[in-house]
Structure 1
Amino acid sequence: MNVTKILATTALLAAGVSLGACSSIRESRGYIVDPVLLNSVQPGIDNQKSVEMTLGRPTFTSQFGEPTWYYVSSTTGRKPFVRPQIQAHQVLAVQFDANGNVSSAERSGLDKVVYLTPDGDETPTLGRERGFLEDLFGNIGTVGQPGMGGQGGPGR
């Protein structure tokens, strides 16, 4: 009788451990979203300093056009040994006018995410094809010549 109880308990524990190993692993990436803080950013009231004091430094900023700060947050879930899948995604884009005041604060979600699949193993580049030896010995004779960007040799 004791042997059957031990076997049943062992089987129950093994089933519990195996089911626990298949649970989803959740990971937060990027900005940790606090809805109260996100709702506190108001166009026409806040400026860059107040946004930075409220939300912290942005995930990244725009390089061209109107100054825009982006706060990006993603939550992924994955099962062991499987590629992560995005479960939740949120972007807050805060645009500033020329004076540094908030002109708009827009939110977007998972509907704006674009999934890219690379085409092949190589990235096409413009220019000519060079072989290994051309790469290895291609600069011989050009280093230090006038107009070639070198220093012109020792002592110059």
Structure 2
Amino acid sequence: MARPRPSSEKIKVVAENRRARFDYAIDQTYEAGIALTGTEVKALRFGEGSIAESYAEVKGNEIWLVNSNIPEFSHGNRFNHEPKRPRKLLLHEREINKMHGAVARQGMTLVPLCIYFNARGRAKVELAIAKGRKAHDKREHIKEQDWKREAARLLKDRG
């Protein structure tokens, strides 16, 4: 008999790259599994980990998460993991090909947005295909956000 699906999609966000949405224009997002060792999973469940300086790169037919920091598990023994090792991301081959094409031809970047545990308890990475913003693009983005916030406030006051 199949395992019953949970009624609500509960996710527990462990690490978030808030700066990525400001520094990059996000084009498309993907959910990728991440290959972790036992102590890495335990450290993530305690809420430790950072992807602020990390990025993903295509090597052959695989995608690797580089420069993400999952600190050593406090109760780990000599089998503890290396904190900044490259970690393999698990995606379908067509998704990998699409990302490889975007990075190679269009000059896009693969940016991790967050690491979280899905409803089934699996560690996942939200990966985005993005293009870097220049300084003037960032200023325009800030103006646009401010205007949207102001318009929403005005509509709320009148309505």
Structure-2-length-normalised TM-score: 0.23
Normalized per residue, which structure has more strand? 2
Q: Which gives a bigger RCO, structure 1 or 2 (Cα 8 Å, sep 6+)? A: 2
Structure-1-length-normalised TM-score: 0.24
